[in-house]
Amino acid sequence: MVFNKFNKTSMTKEKIALVNDKDEVIGEIFILEAHKKGLLHREAYTYLINSKKQVLLQKRKDRSIWDTSSAGHFSIKEDYLDGAQREFEEELGIKLEKEDFIEIGSERRNSGRDERINNRFVKIFLVKKDIPINRFKLEEKEVLEVRYFNKEELINLLNSGNTTQTLIDLIPKYILPLLEKK
């Protein structure tokens, strides 16, 4: 079952790792409870970049806005890499090897909207691979569509108001510099 995004069924039935200020696991908690109380937990984000220097983004079904290639919470039994790999497969329908994921950043993030307080540590992963759009098998409950964006399209998208705050914060910091490298 998928834990990420806002699937209420999974949020009430699935547990994730509860962590302290040093990102050490101290227990487990239902995702909905973690968000209601603003308790620290873990998430993994992945960005797929192809050889044309285009970034794959997904349009989320819950809010109809653009977000990372794949992302989500994961169980206490998984580490960040396990979570990134599983989320990529669940959301995009393609199983990649762990060696395909390159960790490019980590940070502590805190955001909130409605009654949610998402207080988390995240690790950001990069996958460099050419995967045609027609190969993706999207998780219908979570993903409306996927699309590749070049640098100019990404910049325009970030200014459109049609993205998550995560995308606005992380694309300039981690992804745009990679698109500028030769």
**Digit-coded pLDDT (tens) for 147-166:** 999 999 999 999 999 999 99
Is 127 part of a structural domain of the chain? yes
Domain-embedded: residue 123? yes
Give the mean pLDDT of the chain.
Answer: 91
Is the pLDDT at 5 greater than 50? The verdict is no
Which residues, other chains included, contact 81 with Cβ-Cβ below 8 Å and sequence gap of 6+?
Answer: 44, 98, 101, 103, 123, 125
Looking at the chain, the whole-number percentage of residues with pLDDT higher than 90 is: 85
| Contact predicate 33/26, CB 8 Å | no
The model's pLDDT over 44-58, given as tens digits with 9 standing for 90+, comes to: 999 999 999 999 999
Amino acid letter at 7?
A: N
Give the pLDDT score at 14.
85
Our count of domains for the chain comes to 1
- Asked whether residue 85 is assigned to any structural domain, the reply reads yes
Does residue 182 belong to any structural domain of this protein? Answer: no
Q: Which domain holds residue 156?
A: 8-177
- What is residue 117's predicted lDDT score, i.e. its pLDDT? 84
CATH code of the domain covering residue 78: 3.90.79.10
97 falls within a domain: yes
In a domain, 115, yes or no: yes
Whether 3 maps to a domain, the answer reads: no
What are the φ and ψ backbone dihedral angles of 31, each rounded to 5 degrees?
-60, -40
Q: Is the pLDDT of residue 11 over 80?
A: no
Q: Which of 7-11, 107-111, 135-139 has the lowest mean pLDDT?
A: 7-11
Is 1 part of a structural domain of the chain? Answer: no
Confidence at 116, pLDDT banded by 50, 70, 90: confident
* pTM for the predicted model, two decimal places: 0.90
